[in-house]
Amino acid sequence: MTTPSSGDTVTIDYVLKRTDGQEVGNTQQAGPQDITIGSGQIFPQIEEALTGMSVGDEQTVAIPCDKAFGPRNEQMIIDIPRANLPPEPAPQPGMALQAQSPDGQPMTLYVLEVGEETIKADGNHPLAGEDITFDITLREIKQAA
């Protein structure tokens, strides 16, 4: 049976779960994902698993937090004066805000709390500090030319 190797493009379905089994993402809405093996588009642990799979195979890949989105960093929770935000839309807990990191890189902040004068926002990835699991299914292999 054919298995993918570096440079091949594979089509996969996946379900992403936290360690507690809570599903936090999948390909059901967006459809199957195309990944080029060796391109760094996905976690290396998944690429490694895919190189041993054939079309139709299913595999569960566990990734510890330090190899996924890293540990939570409490210094990335900040207070932002409401005067620094546009008036609309009004900030709500869970809302994503686009900002610039101190080094000028774009980043996403997630609103935690909304106060009269400030909002509390978190610059950590929502899965920071979490071990994650991918249930992957290999749907297709397109071999590199």
Per-residue pLDDT tens digits for 86-104: 888 889 999 999 888 888 8
Structural domain including 22 reads 9-69+128-142
Amino acid present at 102: P
Number of domains forming the structure of the chain: 2
Q: In this structure, is residue 3 part of a structural domain?
A: no
First to last CA, the chain: 19
Q: Which residue stretches of the chain are H helix?
A: 44-50
Does residue 1 carry a pLDDT above 80? Answer: no
Residue 60, domain CATH: 3.10.50.40
CB 112 within 8 A of CB 93: yes
| Whole-number Å distance between alpha carbons of 136 and 68 | 16
Chain-centre distance for alpha carbon 87: 29
CB 36 within 8 A of CB 9: yes
What does the pLDDT read at residue 26? 94
Same-domain check for residues 104 and 132: no
Average pLDDT value over all residues in the chain = 93
Residue 116 structure tokens: 């009269």
| Whole-number Å distance between alpha carbons of 83 and 80 | 8
Tell me how long the chain is. 145
Same-domain check for residues 56 and 88: no
Residue 78, domain CATH: 2.40.10.330
Same-domain check for residues 33 and 102: no
